[in-house]
Amino acid sequence: MEFEEYMKIDSSYLANTGHVVEVKSSNTSQKFFCGWGALKHGVPQGSFLGPLLFKIYVNDLPLRINSVSEPILFADDASALISSRSFEDLWSANFSSHVIKWLAANNLVLSLDIMNIMKFITKNSSLSTLLIGYKERYIEETVNTKFLGLQIDNHRNWKNHVEEMSPKLSGACYAVMSVVHISNTDTLKSIY
């Protein structure tokens, strides 16, 4: 397939796309709708092409920040690992200015509300706060976060992940044990 054919598919997918907002009241069964609006930017949420278009759009981000960090792009999510022996070295790497320049060049907006920052530390590390921000707003520092399905914490132990997964695995084991006598191996694997 030629590039022009791909572009026709791409433009037909994105052209004349609309959106509507539905708000449900938590204490009643009442729903409120706004009228249909044209989608001027972005991709419909939940679309199968969304992650692919995201990867195409941000494919040059790693090239821009690779000298100061290790970028990780997965589906429609982007993360960066920055390592340094001291906080002073972090600031001299000037990571945030590289990202801000790239966002501006690509007409993207930095959404600090959904971002977090985590320092991986040892037990002997000092408890200093790391402030990284933009336009007088700062990224929230956290001690644990979910990253590609894993619960990780700033001490790099598995306690939070094990606590999250234990009830799920217990339920799966119970489901398998309940039908082990009446099912074959393939069915049991499917249930698990």
Residue count of the chain, please give it.
192
CA distances from 145 to 129, 131, 149 (A): 17, 17, 10
Distance CA 128, CA 87 (A): 9
Residue 150 has pLDDT above 80, yes or no: yes
Read off the pTM: 0.57
pLDDT score at 135: 77
Q: Are 146 and 170 spatial neighbours (Cβ–Cβ below 8 Å)?
A: no
The pair of three-digit structure tokens given for residue 63, joined into one six-digit string: 């090239």
pLDDT score at 11: 64
Residue 161 has pLDDT above 70, yes or no: yes
Q: Output b/e per residue, 3-29; b: 16+ Cβ within 10 A.
A: eeeeeeeeeeebeeeeeeeeeeeeeee
**What pLDDT digit, counting tens, does each position of 84-118 carry?**
777 666 665 677 777 888 888 888 877 777 888 88
Residue 179 has pLDDT above 80, yes or no: yes
